[in-house]
Amino acid sequence: MMMFGRNGGIDVADTDAIATCNKFPHEWTLKRWIRPDDRPDVFIAPDWMTTITGPALIDLARTTFPDNGRGVALDNASQAFDAIAGYLNGTKHPGETP
């Protein structure tokens, strides 16, 4: 069963997903979180700031944009870092009211 957090979804056993979502309802849900500006749902590893660098960081940042060309303009790690941070900061819990 998929459970979702700010960084995206992970597949776990049904009982684990339900227990985790009940224990940590503000961090985990059974519904996808709402991404900013209709951007795609991309999983961002929790340790992305320390484990993803260089071209991989730029590629990851580009995937957080819809295929409309906005991500193509990213061409350095600083821009990629800002794009990913903005993507995660703009993500809303599915229970939040707009």
Beta strand segments in 1-98, E: 2-5, 8-11
Q: What Rg value do the Cα atoms of the chain yield, rounded?
A: 14
Domains in the chain: how many in total?
1
Is 97 a domain residue? no
Statement: residue 15 has pLDDT above 90: yes
> For position 39, what pLDDT does the model report?
86
* Residue 11 in tokens: 């597949």
Is 96 a domain residue? no
> For position 65, what pLDDT does the model report?
86
State the residue range of the domain holding 40.
2-89
Residue 12: C-alpha distances to residues 15, 29, 45, 70 (Å)? 8, 12, 16, 33
Is 95 a domain residue? no
Mean pLDDT of 80-94: 93
pLDDT digits (tens, 9 = 90+) for 23-73: 999 999 999 999 988 888 899 999 999 999 999 999 999 989 876 666 778
Is 64 a domain residue? yes
> For position 58, what pLDDT does the model report?
92
* Between residues 72 and 74, the one the model is more confident about: 74
